[in-house]
Structure 1
């Protein structure tokens, strides 16, 4: 199948990329025992589709998965998993290639995404979770240091978690402060 060159990113291009690539990859790689909810976070760029986009919702409703779109909170790079590591990881893979036209860049990003391991993605999401926990500790402020948990060492010891635990007292404190 021959693809048309991408001249500009529009809502239609974004929708097609989500449906033809992202949703397909989720269905292929996600554990069938865990059908969701699965959240796809978009930044607030104009070409991104609305979270209630009918075509997107119709497509994701097939196959039993619960896949939802969300926009990241504005001005929240510390909570943007894409900024925390995904873009960096893909960019470092993509920079290993010499590129010409935009189609080559698109292909390089796609290839880099395909090469990205679940291990690398887990590390990005662990960083996101540690940032979220620190933000909770400082009551929503951005006055904190990004914690380093020694992911490499933990992995070598076979103790790298898939998720960061959060003390129930901290959760209760945050919920209480939000309710007041």
Structure 2
């Protein structure tokens, strides 16, 4: 069983307190208005780790964290960059088609690449019932999910069920606390 979950991460908080030493510069904040904070969605996939009899980790369960971003050439030149330079921008809104492309183009190849050779090729991917998630009977997904001897199926959590997904319970909170310690200037950071 593989759990997938998506989460929005804001580049900076609306309000943040800093303790600065004398002579220390204030961290750079990329946004001008608190109502328009840049946010990026990430899709994370994990499975249960497999540990051998001697305590050796045979499979750590980490499949990957995938950002919903795209490379876009700049339309105009400015003092910061010239016209045509490639920038990484967040994809908003995240629709069913965007989610389908992310699962088919990035998650499924990561599963095939990292899945242990000795484990069963019958795999269930559990997703919550968020609006942009694809239907478990999606024809394009089913076509790609049955390649290379794998039998990957999507299942959905029951509606209004408590969140017992390990990603929601602590993993995303830990990542967000690490992210709040840094002060990114753009989406690439």
Q: Which has the larger radius of gyration?
A: 2
State TM-score, norm by structure 2: 0.47
Richer in helix (by share): 1
State TM-score, norm by structure 1: 0.49
